Structure 1
Amino acid sequence: MRSRKKKMPISRKVLYLLGYTMVFIWLIPVLWMCITALKPGGSAVTVIRDLLSPPYTLDNYNYVLTNASIWNWTWNSFYVAAVTTIVTIILTSLAAFALSRMQFFGKTFIFWVIIAGLMVPVEAKIIPLFQIMIDMGLINSYSSLILPGLAAPLGVFILKQFYDGIPNELVEAARIDGAGMLRIFWSIFLPLSRSSMAALGIFTFITSWNNFLWPFLAINEEKMMTLPVAIPTFQSAYTAELMIPMAANVLASLPAILVFIFFQKHIIKGITMTGIK
């Protein structure tokens, strides 16, 4: 007998259609950016027919890579994002482990204070944070770009939820063998939470890489600028056209896109495992 293929339910077809539609809508501005970056100076890029018509050129990319400080700005963005990601993972994992497995006075209160940080808008913290950086003399430094990003209540929440789901039998067995809390964290919790920590690290890296508002306020020297702050200077300092800024945007977007593409399995697995008890 011939095996009959199961027909896909109409509800699933609708979901697929909706998903593909959302992807197409999301890709429209990305495609516009990429095509605009290939158009020569003076081209019309606001009409679809003109945008999709030749000629195309790589001169915009050559101009960005050879006539601007983009390499220095890229290093600043990468350094800030990498350090922020590493330190955030260390701090949030230790804090989540303490809140999940250690007993001390006020643990529940401290946890809810940390979670309350999720409800405070970024804009509400800008003025006091800026004043603190001025008082500490950290304006125009890497410290001013890195330190505010280390407060990650969402990371503490995600890792604590995962740690709460680890069986107590593993912890008790380690204690019987004479392991202390730090050894339990290093040998049991850290290996089991690699996917969750990888997902948190990817989100932290991309968020820091794309951050504009705080670096825009904390840095006023060109040599210390990150890419999101520095790219608008192409339009104001070099040209009023869109081609060169779009080429710079394409180059600035590549690291974040590559990180997401190569580590998307870790993101899905980390989010999935966080909800498993």
Structure 2
Amino acid sequence: MKWVYRILSLIAAFFFLAPLVWMLIVSIKQEGMKIVTLVDWFTPPYSFAVYDEILSTTKLMNWTFNSFFVAVCVTILTVAVAAMASFAISKIPFRYRTAMFFFVLAGLLIPGEAVIIPLYQVAKDMNILNSYQGLILPALASPVAVIVLKSFFDGVPNELVESVQIDGAGVWRIFWSIMLPLTRPALASMAILTFIGSWNNFLWPFLSVTDDNLFTLPMGIPTLMNQYSEDYVKPMVINTLSSLPILLLFIVFERQIVKGISLTGIKG
């Protein structure tokens, strides 16, 4: 039966990789090539001239930097805030701790679109629209990260925490030296998933940014696609350049991404 599963896996991999391969090949075709049959998409001549044109005449690299910078900041701050919040709910006894957990849990029941208008009004009152702060700060609240990390902190025996407290360690020492190293796999998984979510975020940047110098890739790419709606090569070049960073991230952190999906129960 193993060879049957291998064949089915290869077939599935082919269907998933075929659009990617097609995009890469079309991106190095020459502009204005006549396409009559399917074979014409894959035949020479090839050229990287369109890559040079896109990189020199558009703000694609600037938008890539914006996406990367915002995603890195959101990832670091979100994981830090979620780790501290989940540690407090899991290991620090305080009044209404259970109520606080259910309050965070209720955040999963509210779709992001339902709070987008009040969120925009708050950002406007804080005067952070059209800025990196406006792109980063509203994305830091992550109930999923808090709940997932809390489940890992709950798995650490309370006896271990109590023994460290007897030795004189404070709350911050316990959090930094004991809890974080033990939950490193969960932290890595949540960091990767948070990075991908921020990288692909479209709605909030679309509402909070009007300066094209601050556009992220999900915002900037559609504006370029409208300019090249009758061409095939340039849109494929744009998609290839914008996809490379996240493809490299997936190749490097494939195991952590799969583990993160299994930990959070996210599908799709």
Do they superpose with TM above 0.5? yes
Matched, 1:60 2:50: yes
Contact 2:148 2:263 in 1 (8 A): no
Letter in 2 for 1:199: S
Structure 1: which 5+ residue stretches go unaligned? Answer: 1-9
2:154 is aligned with what amino acid?
A: D
Count of residue pairs brought into register by the alignment: 265
Is residue 186 of structure 1 aligned with residue 166 of structure 2? Answer: no
Q: Given the superposition, is the C-alpha separation of residues 45 and 157 from structure 1 closer, same or farther in structure 2, using an over 3 Å criterion?
A: farther
The 3 A distance-change label for structure 1 pair 31 and 125 is farther
Q: CA deviation at 1:224?
A: 0.8
Question: Which of 154, 164, 172 is the equivalent residue of 2:162?
Answer: 172
Contact 2:149 2:187 in 1 (8 A): yes
Q: Which amino acid aligns with 1:88?
A: T
Q: Which residue of 2 aligns with 1:233?
A: 223
- Conservation of the 8 A alpha-carbon contact between 1:36 and 1:243: yes
Deviation at 1:132, TM superposition (A): 2.3
SS at match of 1:40: coil
In the alignment, does 2:72 pair up with 1:89?
A: no
Q: 1:204: which partner in 2?
A: 194
SS in 2 for 1:231: helix
CA distance in 2, matches of 1:149, 1:242: 34
Name the CA distance, whole Å, in 2 between partners of 1:250 and 1:215: 22
Which stretch shows the higher mean deviation, 75-84 or 17-26?
17-26
Residues 168 and 44 of structure 1: CA distance in aligned 2, closer, same or farther (over 3 Å): farther
Unaligned stretches of 5+ residues in structure 2: none
Which region of structure 1 is more displaced relative to structure 2, 71-80 or 40-49?
A: 40-49
How well do the aligned residues superpose, as a CA RMSD in angstroms?
2.4
TM-score by length of 1: 0.86
Report which stretch shifted further, 160-169 or 84-93: 160-169
Contact 1:44–1:51 (CA under 8 A) maintained in structure 2? no
Taking structure 2 as the reference length, the TM-score comes to 0.89
Q: CA deviation at 1:187?
A: 0.9
Once residues 113 and 264 of structure 2 are traced to their aligned partners in structure 1, the CA distance between those partners, rounded to angstroms, is 29
1:261 aligns with 2:251: yes
Aligned-pair distance for 1:134? 2.2
* Alignment-mate amino acid for residue 235 of structure 2: P
Q: Which has the larger displacement, 262-271 or 196-205?
A: 262-271
In 2, the alpha carbon distance for the partners of 1:268 and 1:170 equals: 30
Q: Specify the code of the residue in structure 2 equivalent to 1:180.
A: G
Q: Alpha carbons of 1:160 and 1:234: their partners in 2 closer, same or farther (altered >3 Å)?
A: same
Identity, in percent, stands at 46
Asked if residue 103 in structure 1 is aligned to residue 93 in structure 2, the reply is: yes
Offset from partner CA, 1:3-41 (integer Å, 9 cap, x none):
xxxxxxx3x555544444433332232223222211222
Q: 1:240: how far off?
A: 3.5
Gap change, CA 1:18 and 1:82, over 3 Å in 2: same
SS in 2 for 1:123: helix
Matched, 1:115 2:105: yes
Match for residue 30 of structure 1?
A: 20
